[in-house]
Amino acid sequence: ADSAWSVEDILTEDDEQDRVPLQKLKLLGESEELRGLLLNPHLRQLLLTVDQAEDKSSLMKKYMQEPLFVEFADCCLRIVEPPEKENILPE
């Protein structure tokens, strides 16, 4: 029990604004679009490499130049932060 930790243990106050609520994270698992992207073996290898990397930050900068990775990141963002529906005229 002494070794148990929670997200609060690793997030600073500055990180809190970047935190995604659990209910929104669950939406990622329900997305057919995201599941489709994750079928791509190249994307899966990129994600594994990031997960295992010591310097995730610089690797992320590199991968954000990869169209496939950007497509994945954009898909995740659309799910957890849907775009505002502005400038849409009601019917």
* Residue 65 counted as domain residue: yes
In a domain, 73, yes or no: yes
Give residue 23's pLDDT band: very low, low, confident or very high (50, 70, 90). Answer: confident
Rg from Cα positions in the chain: 16
Check residue 86 and give its pLDDT: 59
Q: Is there a domain that residue 2 lies in?
A: no
pTM score: 0.70
76 occurs within a structural domain: yes
SS3 sequence of 10-42: HCCCCHHHHCCCHHHHHHHHHCHHHHHHHCCHH
**Considering its fold, how many domains does the chain have in total?**
1
Q: How far apart are CA 62 and CA 72, in angstroms?
A: 14
More reliable by pLDDT, 38 or 17: 38
Flag whether 85 is in a domain.
no
Domain residues for 76? 22-80
In a domain, 14, yes or no: no
CB–CB of 28/79 below 8 Å? Answer: yes
